């Protein structure tokens, strides 16, 4: 729903009812997963998609009917072997779609939910899909409050507890309860849609490498911020659209920015007056990955200054430096930049489970190291200038020193 949120907020603020279709369950192969949404608004304007085009026509007609009579509808679309041209999924999968009317009069909490999603405030929306409870009824659950109702206090209490649990995990799916919230019954089906904010990627140092890293972070779904104290370099025109650019001293910006166990910090300033105060803060904070550009010698000098600032060996062991992965020399006329595959990050664990080793190609040899920055490979992804091959933050290090196994530094 995030991608269609601007249109939904505009319609809701104007008091215009719209039909909201949401994928609530998927089996086998399907174009889009649970939570995918499509809406039909004023003048039969359509935004979003639930299947990539397979069943949108049928969902559009359902939305028109829902807007006409106000009754929420649930429908399952699948593939028919008897009639391959019937409305259904040609990929052989099956999706169940809930269509309901949304307006200030039918869903009083939608405005607060939309504001929270836009502001990256975590919220879970619980919606009744089937059973002896009002279909389409919603309950919005935040970490410290809830609004709306599913029809009974017992059901609201049970669902709110589960909604906070899935919010912490960022998961979305169906749950089943009794009419009064009994957990060992399955009469009432409730769809829990968690809107957890995207993970943060904080890139410090508005250099060319930062532009490449920001582009990859944005592609992978991170909320990317580039920060530099030098206004002449920290300009939005130098970075991809959607990347936040901040002009401030890095350690000051980090001091007022919240981080969590999913946050990625890339320090590319390559200047002790920026690096040391920034890393002194970062290494005391929760983060999935903290990497800094620089050769082995630079890393050793930086680590010594951090020890003098009071950081212990356990904290210093979190620092990945040189940042990136060992992919060998840069291609002629290009540059290599690599970030995203450290097994210690959520993305890296996914790559490892899929068979990736989280390291560079050993057959390429040590190659050249400019400023201690590992780069993206030259094959595959299609961005010729930067030559993106694989994504990943640098792999495991030896001895907790932050120096990559087999790296040569600069």
pLDDT at position 167, please?
83
Considering the chain, what is the average pLDDT of its residues? 80
Q: Which of 332, 319, 408 has its CA nearest to residue 370?
A: 408
Q: Which two tokens stand for residue 341?
A: 């595959």
> What is the pTM for the complete model shown?
0.66
- Cα torsion 326, 329, 331, 333: sign: positive
Residues forming beta bridges with residue 95, ordered by sequence position: 26, 77
Residues written for the chain? 410
Q: Beta strand 123-130 with 94-102: parallel, antiparallel or unpaired? A: unpaired
Residue 303 has pLDDT above 80, yes or no: yes
Instruction: Verify cis geometry, omega within 30 degrees of 0, for the bond prior to 322.
Output: yes
Answer whether 26's CB lies under 8 Å from 173's CB. no
Burial of 357 (0-12, 13-18, 19+ CB in 10 A): middle
Q: Which residues contact 123 (CB under 8 A, 6 or more apart)?
A: 113, 116, 117, 140, 141, 142, 167, 194, 195
Q: Which of 333, 336, 317 has its CA nearest to residue 325?
A: 336
Helix then strand count (H, E) for the chain reads 10, 16
Each residue of 112-140: pLDDT tens digit?
Answer: 999 999 988 999 999 999 999 999 999 99
> How many angstroms separate the CA atoms of 85 and 392, rounded?
43
Each residue of 368-403: pLDDT tens digit?
Answer: 333 444 443 333 333 333 333 333 443 333 333 333
The band of 363, judged by pLDDT with boundaries at 50, 70 and 90, is very low
> How many angstroms separate the CA atoms of 31 and 49, rounded?
10
pLDDT at position 331, please?
56
């Amino acid at each position: 729903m995030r991608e269609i949120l601007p249109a939904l907020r505009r319609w809701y603020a104007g008091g215009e009812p719209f039909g909201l279709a949401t994928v609530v369950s998927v089996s086998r192969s399907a174009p889009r997963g649970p939570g995918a949404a499509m809406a039909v608004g004023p003048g039969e304007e359509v935004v979003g998609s639930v299947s990539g085009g397979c069943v949108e026509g049928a969902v559009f007609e359902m939305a028109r009917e829902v807007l006409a009579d106000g009754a929420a509808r649930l429908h399952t679309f699948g593939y028919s072997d008897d009639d391959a041209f019937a409305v259904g999924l040609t990929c052989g999968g099956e999706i169940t779609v809930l269509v309901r009317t949304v307006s200030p009069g039918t869903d009083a909490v939608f405005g607060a939910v939309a504001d929270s999603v836009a502001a990256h405030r975590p919220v879970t929306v619980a919606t009744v899909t089937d059973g002896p409870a009002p279909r389409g009824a919603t309950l919005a659950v935040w970490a410290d409050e809830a609004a709306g109702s599913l029809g009974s206090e017992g059901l609201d209490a049970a669902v709110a507890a589960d909604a906070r649990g899935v919010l912490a995990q960022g998961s979305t799916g169906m749950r089943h309860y009794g009419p009064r919230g009994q957990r060992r019954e399955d009469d009432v089906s409730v769809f829990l849609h968690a809107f957890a904010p995207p993970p943060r990627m904080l890139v410090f140092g508005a250099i060319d490498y930062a532009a490449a890293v920001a582009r990859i972070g944005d592609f992978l779904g991170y909320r990317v911020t580039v920060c530099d104290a030098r206004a002449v370099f920290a300009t939005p025109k130098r970075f991809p659209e959607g990347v936040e650019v901040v002009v401030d001293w890095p350690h000051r910006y980090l001091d007022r920015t919240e981080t969590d166990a999913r946050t990625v910090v890339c320090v590319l300033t390559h200047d002790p007056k920026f690096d040391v105060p920034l890393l002194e803060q970062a290494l005391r904070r929760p983060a999935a990955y903290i990497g800094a550009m620089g050769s082995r010698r630079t890393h050793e000098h930086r680590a010594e200054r951090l020890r003098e600032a009071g950081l212990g060996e356990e904290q210093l062991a979190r620092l990945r430096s040189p940042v990136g992965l060992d992919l060998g020399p840069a291609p002629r006329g290009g540059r290599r930049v690599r970030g995203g595959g450290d097994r210690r990050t959520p993305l890296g664990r996914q790559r490892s489970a899929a068979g990736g080793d989280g390291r560079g190609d050993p057959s390429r040899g040590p190659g050249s190291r400019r400023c201690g920055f590992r780069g993206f490979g030259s094959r595959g992804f299609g961005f010729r200038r930067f030559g993106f091959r694989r994504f990943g933050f640098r792999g495991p290090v030896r001895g907790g020193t932050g120096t990559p196994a087999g790296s040569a530094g600069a």
